[in-house]
Amino acid sequence: MLRFIMLALVCAVLLPVTGRAQDLQKVLQSHHAEVADPGRRTVGVVLDDLLASGLPGVQTFLERWQDKEVAVRVSDGQFFYAEEAEDDTYTLFAIPGAETVRTGVSRDAIEEVKPNGGVRREIRNALVVFQLSDPDIEKRRDAVQAIGRSLKPSHLKSLQAAIPGETDPALKARKTRLAAYLVARYGKVADARIAAIAGLSDDISVETRAVLSQILEARPGVAEALPRDANIARVLEPGSDDLSRAEAYARLVDAGRARAVVNAADIRDALAARIDGARVGGVPVAQLDTQAARVRAYKVLATDGAVPPLVTPAEQARALQEHVFFEVYREVDSRITDAARDAQASVAMRLAAGKAVDLTLDAMSLASIYFLAAIGLAITFGVMGVINMAHGEFIMMGAYTGYLVQLVVPDYTLSLVVALPLAFAVTFGAGVAMERLVIRWLYHRPLETLLATFGISIALQQLAKNIFGTQARPLTSPGWLDGALVINDVIQISYIRIAIFVLALLFLGLLLFVLNRTRLGLEVRAVTQNRGMAASMGINPDRINMLTFGLGSGIAGIAGVAIGLYAKVTSEMGQDYIVQSFMTVVVGGVGNVFGALAGATMIGFFQKGIEWFNPSNTLAAQTYMILFIILFIQVRPKGIMALKGRAAGD
Amino acid sequence: MPDQATPTRPFAARHPSVLWFIAALALFTLGVTVLSEATGVGLISTSFVKTLGKMLCLCLVAIAMDVVWGYCGILSLGHFAFFGLGGYAIGMWLMYARTEQIVLDQMTNEVLPPTGTEIKDAIGAQIFGVVGATDFPVIWAFSHSLTLQLLMVVLVPGLLALVFGWLAFRARVAGVYLSILTQAMTLALALYLFQNDSGLRGNNGLSGLQNLPGLESVPQAQVSIWFFWGSALALGLGYLLFAWVVSGKIGSVIRGIRDDEARVCFLGYNVEGYKLFVFTLTAVVAGVGGALYYPQAGIINPAEVAPIASIYLAVWVAIGGRGRLYGAVIGAALVSVLSSWFTGGGAPDVDLGVYTIRWTDWWLVLLGVGFVAVTLFFPKGIGGLFDLVAHRVAPVRVGDYGPDDGAKRKEEGPAE
């Protein structure tokens, strides 16, 4: 009994296959002209029929068709796979079985089918369906990508079929997601669509948002009463933020339900076209230099019937009163649109959270850049009280040092390793030289220090311009710093910014260590607190001042390399940072490394916060930030981290 | 005090330098008038008359800077911003009135006489077309009236200085902190003006200011000499005003604030009020200077307001000599003329064999290094040379180290 059933089953399975197997040729014959001489526009019908037939040999046929291996026999119009043999003859194989039919067929007996590029592209798109289950993972990936690019309802069946057999988890998730998109948008069963839509509510990708908004696509409508059977998205009140009264009236005009408003330009044109002698509507032309006079003349013309009468405000108001403005979903089932709206709200909330995280990351990276630029100043200005307007130029010198090193050392990683200490050495030297030659003569004339260092700043800037020219020089980051850490579609941060953040932290630690844990740091603090007392304790204040200034300048050089990696290296790059750096130190609190950190954090977050409200205008963000700082100093004149006790100096 | 011991001596006798300066300025003006194209023999080109006129305006803002810095000890890095604001204020009227005439000329061919709204819309489209707008921003509300805009020349810089100064001085921000804060203010203003939606044409600035509305038929040579006279008059009046301010009791107090603010405060003077008065007055004078400068320059854009310009102003005053008004004039005149000579390609290149020094490239290096040298070795600036002529030797008084050493602590001063 069992054996009998098995046999019956085998027959049931095999018979139709063998029966249908011959049908592929039949399908092809039914579209003989389109297969033998395919065109990009006509081939679609053939492909649809072939895919719909579900025959087993279709994939092979499509691949070989695409590879120009199909031929038609001239004598009976049958299609074969043809392979050229060595002696200029062809071997024909049957479609679909691929068993050899004849060898040694001459070139004249057959005609090769040669689809052009456009047709081959169509065939390739059709083949995507088969590649979804291809053993080669690359092909599967390409197929899924192709489907993702243009979602079509016809893909759904093969996509769903390809999900269970998928071994790669990432690809499986992707297939499932695409299938969900397709169900959500084109599914036939309402409950299945609602379930699919609900499943999308935790995804903030651009694709999901696009799918949801496509489901929720609405068109504007206007009627005398709200239609009962339509799936209304929302009712708009004329005069609200979403629909101004003028827009509402324009909709009425477009719908042919009201007369167009006669505006000032229309009145002018109408009057100009109807000048009769030196008068229009009885009013002399020379008097028409006010709007009131023009309206008067127009009204005369209107009563004569020469022009359409003015649309009075009362008439407009009545027209608006008599109509209701709304938007109606293209989707008729309100359950589906409700589900999509819920999903959209959930996505929007997740999106806002993601953006907040992203903004925080951005702000932290901006803060670390400000911190790097300002940390050298925190030493020279904050600890020593010396104002160095050439600090920005030290940053520039560091960046140019990095550029020069890259000219010599081609390997970017190695050049960076060389450039960082070298930049420190160069700017350390420059700082020491400046301290010895200029600043030490001016320690008690701070305003003149400001001006003298400004003189050095313009000289250095022009010198750099003379040497390196005005165009920006590249400072290329090594390959492992390229790209960005992508967490999802919203949250991402480039590796270079992470590197700068790490560098900033590193310097914070290093500086704290030097100032608080080393002999040099102790002496620096002693000299800044009480120079005379330090000197009598055997500390050489001149030497300490020189070294401290060198240290601050050297750090500016390293900051220059870091900044140069993501910004352009120009002779003016220092200028962009100098005011912000001073602000950072002043806001944070003078005389304190943590102050610079706090100042940089506050300024970074504040600037990004303003940019969030007004993303298109970074100039405005900077303006408001500076105004905020000026006001902030009113509240806390000594900055966020005011020094307490004797060290404060007053 | 010697001033009060001889109250009957006239102002000019007590301050002979004022007379000398006014005489020199009058002579200079006369000389340029005689040599100019429009009113004299034509030895000086129109563009050079304009350069000299602009130089006088820069001298005016320089003496304002000298009063606020050299006499009161406030190193303001914002006075060129006030200068620029004055320029913008007058520029708005010049631009509006001139565009109005152009628009009216264009509209004479229209069939109907234009209405007020149409004219205004057309002017707006002309002026703001470059920044993609057509409507007049609120700040242009008075631009149709010369009187009101002239008032703005004084009010806008004055009010800004008043508010900013009140905030800063009230918070006891002084010394280098105040300098940085004024620089921040200048930067904020420049960044604001750089925006297209600031209502002042962003990066493009205001242009065509050399064409005076209603005076199209007057040649530029004539206009330039008018402006030259105006600038000379303004400089002369400004000099007199400041000489009077710094000579009397106010002058003594503000010098006292410069040298030892705490002590003046303990003597019962309202230090904040004095500082605010000086800061605001000088800002207003700077605004007037700008209103005279930019019609001669023809264009004003936000780059003029950038912080660097204000620092240059301080450099001029320092080179000329702080704490004396004629020093500021000398510094501003000398450096601005030298600067245009060097950068304009007037200076001959120096061929060193291996390298040719082109002064257009090296002038800023020279200025920077020279400025450092002046700060280090000649703190009195060029004006200090006059002391040699006048044999003026500052009396050695304990606790008073004069304008240059005023910021010194007691222990760094000369031995008592």
A440 domain-assigned: yes
Suggest the residue from A626, A628, A629 to mutate for an interface test with chain B (most B CBs closer than 10 A): A626
Residue B178 counted as domain residue: yes
Token representation of residue B105: 């000329």
User: What is the pLDDT, as a whole number, of residue B307?
Assistant: 86
Q: Please state, in angstroms and rounded to a whole number, the distance separating the CA atoms of residues B381 and B139.
A: 42
- Please give the helix or strand (H or E) that residue A387 lies within, else none: none
The pLDDT of residue B5: 46
Please say which residue of A63, A97, A122 terminates a domain.
A122
Domain span including residue B254: 21-309
Token code pair at residue B100: 């109005």
Q: What is the Rg, in whole angstroms, of the alpha carbon atoms belonging to chain B?
A: 23
Mean pLDDT over each residue of chain A, to the nearest integer: 83
Q: Which of A60-69, A543-552, B107-116, B405-414 is predicted with the least confidence, judged by mean pLDDT?
A: B405-414
How many angstroms away from the CA of A456 is the closest CA of chain B?
Answer: 6
Identity of residue A230: A
Residue B296: band (very low, low, confident or very high) from pLDDT cuts 50, 70, 90: very high
The backbone torsions φ and ψ at residue A464, rounded to the nearest 5 degrees and listed phi first, read: -60, -40
> Which residues in chain A have their CB less than 8 angstroms from residue B183's CB?
579, 582
Contacts of B114 in chain A (CB under 8 A): 289
Using CB atoms, which residue from A287, A461, A633 is nearest to B173? Answer: A633
Is A57 in the same domain as A198? Answer: no
Residue-wise pLDDT for B220-240, tens only, equals 889 999 999 999 999 999 999
pLDDT band at residue A14, thresholds of 50, 70 and 90?
Answer: very low
**Looking at residue A473, what is its pLDDT?**
87
Is residue A93 a part of any domain in this protein?
yes
CB pairs under 8 A between A and B: 165
Query: What CA–CA distance (Å, rounded) separates B80 from B61?
Result: 8
B365 in Cβ contact with B371 (< 8 Å): no
A607 part of a folded domain = no
* Residue A582 to residue B112: CA distance in whole angstroms: 60
Asked whether residue B404 is domain-assigned, the answer is no
Question: Which residue, A215, A232, A265, sits at the end of a domain?
Answer: A215
pLDDT at residue A7, as a whole number: 53
Residues 259-288 of A with CB under 8 A from B: 264, 268, 271-272, 275, 285-288
Q: Is the pLDDT of residue A134 over 70?
A: yes
Mean pLDDT of B34-46: 86
**Whole-number pLDDT of residue A422:** 95
Residue A589 in tokens: 């609190």
Q: How far is CA B296 from CA A613, A637, B56, B96, in A?
A: 41, 42, 11, 17
A98 and A178 together in one domain: no
Identify whether B200 is part of a domain.
Answer: yes
Distances in whole angstroms, Cα of residue A345 to Cα of each of A177, A213, A215: 19, 11, 14
Q: Is a pLDDT exceeding 90 seen at residue B404? A: no
User: Residues with Cβ < 8 Å from A507, sequence gap 6 or more?
Assistant: A372, A375, A555, A558
Q: Does residue B415 surpass a pLDDT of 50?
A: no
Is B112 contained in some domain?
A: yes
Quick check: B194 and A619 CB within 8 A? yes
Residue B115's pLDDT band (boundaries 50, 70, 90)?
confident
Domain count, chain A: 4
**What long-range pairs does A60-63 form, CB within 8 A, spacing at least 24?**
A60/A96, A60/A98, A61/A24, A61/A28, A61/A95, A61/A96, A62/A123, A62/A126, A62/A127, A62/A130, A63/A127
Q: Which of A377, A381, A451 to mutate to test the interface with B (most CBs of B within 10 A)?
A: A451
What is the rounded average pLDDT of the residues A77-98?
A: 80
Examine residue A446 and say whether the peptide bond preceding it is cis (omega within 30 degrees of 0): no
**HSE value, Cβ hemisphere, 13 Å, CA-based, for A194:** 11
Burial category of A11 from C-beta neighbours within 10 Å (exposed 0-12, middle 13-18, buried 19 and up):
exposed
Q: Judge whether B390 lies within some domain.
A: no
Residue B7 in any domain: the answer is no
Q: Are residues A231 and A301 in the same domain?
A: yes
CA distance A582 to A599: 10
List Cα–Cα distances, A371 to A563, A595, B23, in angstroms. 11, 10, 55
The stretch A423-432 carries a mean pLDDT of: 95
Q: At what angle do helices A334-377 and A593-613 cross, to 10 degrees?
A: 150
Number of other residues whose CB lies within 10 A of the CB of residue B266: 10
Mean pLDDT of chain B: 86
Do the Cβ atoms of A540 and A523 come closer than 8 Å? no
Q: So what's the pLDDT on residue B21?
A: 92
Maximum average pLDDT range among A288-297, A377-386, A615-624, B365-374: B365-374
- Spatial CB neighbours of B42, under 8 Å, sequence gap ≥ 6: B35, B36
Question: Which residue among B184, B195, B318 places its CB closest to the CB of A451?
Answer: B318
Residues A286 and A431 grouped into a single domain: no
Residue A586 · residue A381 · CB < 8 Å:
no
Q: What are the tokens at A226?
A: 């709200």
Euclidean distance between the first and final Cα of chain B, in Å?
22
Look at B181 and A289 and tell me if their CB atoms are within 8 Å.
no
Comparing alpha-carbon positions, the chain A residue that sits nearest to B202 is A619
Q: Are B297 and B58 in contact (CB under 8 A)?
A: no
Q: How far is B371 from chain A (nearest CA, A)?
A: 6
Number of domains making up chain B: 1
Q: Helix, strand, or coil here: A326?
A: strand
- Quick check: is B381 in a domain? no
What pLDDT shows up at residue A429? 96
pLDDT over 70 for what percent of chain B? 92
The A residues from 573 to 612 touching B (CB cutoff 8 Å) are 575, 579, 582-583, 586
Spatial contact of B136 and B142, defined as CB atoms under 8 Å apart: no
Nearest to B75 among A271, A450, A462 (CB): A450
- Top-confidence residue, B317 or A137: B317
Is residue A538 classed as helix, strand or coil in its secondary structure? coil
Neighbours of A67 (CB within 10 A): 12
The whole-number pLDDT of residue B149 equals 93
| DSSP label of B210 | T
Q: Which residues contact B270 (CB under 8 A, 6 or more apart)?
A: none
Q: Please give, one letter per residue, the 3-state secondary structure of A225-256.
A: CCCCCCCEEEEECCCCCCCCHHHHHHHHHHCC
Q: Is pLDDT at B105 greater than 70 in this prediction? A: yes
Determine, for residues A290 and B75 on separate chains, whether the beta-carbon distance falls below 8 Å.
no
Task: Identify whether residues A366 and A414 lie together within a single domain.
Answer: yes
pLDDT of residue A2: 56
Are the beta carbons of B56 and B228 closer than 8 angstroms?
yes
Measured distance CA(A173)–CA(A178) in Å, rounded: 9
Note the pLDDT of residue A129. Answer: 75
- Cα dihedral sign for A177, A179, A181, A187? negative
DSSP string, A80-127: EEEEE-TTS-EEEE-TTT--EEEEEE-GGGEEE----HHHHHHHHHHH
User: Taking CB atoms and an 8 Å limit, are A634 and B171 in contact across chains?
Assistant: yes
Residue numbers of the domain that contains A194: 132-215
B143 falls within a domain: yes
Give a yes or no: residue A242 inside a domain.
yes
Check whether B391 has a pLDDT greater than 70.
no
What are the tens digits of pLDDT across the range B235-246? Answer: 999 999 999 999
One domain for residues A211 and A294: no
| pLDDT of A17 higher than 50 | no
How many percent of chain A have pLDDT more than 90? 10
The closest CB to that of A458, out of B75, B113, B364, belongs to: B364
Residue B334 pLDDT more than 80? yes
Answer with the residue of higher pLDDT: A618 or B300: B300
- Which residues in chain A are contacts of B308 at CB distance < 8 A? 575
Which of A26-35, A370-379, B229-238 is the most confident on average?
A: B229-238
Q: Lowest-pLDDT range, A247-261, A579-593, B236-250, B291-305?
A: A579-593
Query: pLDDT for A159-170, tens place per residue?
Result: 887 888 788 888
Q: In degrees rounded to 5, what are phi and psi of residue B359?
A: -70, -25
Higher pLDDT, A618 or B180: B180
Residues A210 and A224 in one domain: no
- For residue A604, pLDDT beyond 90: no
Closest-approach residue (CA) in chain A for B374: A452
Q: Taking 70 as the threshold, does the pLDDT of residue A234 lie above it?
A: yes
Q: What share of chain B is helix, strand, coil (3-state, %, to 5)?
A: 70, 5, 25
Provide the pLDDT confidence category of residue B326 given band limits of 50, 70 and 90.
very high
Same-domain pairing of A60 and A84? yes
> pLDDT band at residue A1, thresholds of 50, 70 and 90?
low
Given this model, what pLDDT does residue B413 score?
47
Report chain B residues whose CB lies below 8 A from the CB of A438. Answer: 372, 376
In a domain, A161, yes or no: yes
Residues A437 and A552 in one domain: yes
A545 & A450 share domain:
yes
Residue A590 has pLDDT above 80, yes or no: no
Question: Do B319 and B76 contact (CB within 8 A), yes or no?
Answer: no
Cβ pair B111:A291 closer than 8 A: no
Q: Which of A512, A543, A578 is the last residue of a domain?
A: A578
Distance from CA of A287 to the nearest CA of B (A): 8
Please give the pLDDT value at position A4. 57
Q: Is A146 on the interface with B (CB under 8 A)?
A: no
Least confident of A374-383, B280-289, B332-341: A374-383
Residues of chain A neighbouring B369 (CB-CB closer than 8 A) = 455, 459
Q: State mean pLDDT over A91-100.
A: 79
Is residue A554 a contact partner of residue A427, using CB atoms and an 8 Å limit? yes
A438 in contact with chain B, both atoms CB, cutoff 8 A? yes
| Residue A526 covered by a domain | yes
What pLDDT sits at residue A8? 52
Q: How confident is the model at residue B198 (pLDDT cuts 50, 70, 90)?
A: confident
Do residues A480 and A413 share a domain? Answer: yes
Are A534 and A550 found together in one domain?
Answer: yes
pLDDT for res B1: 42
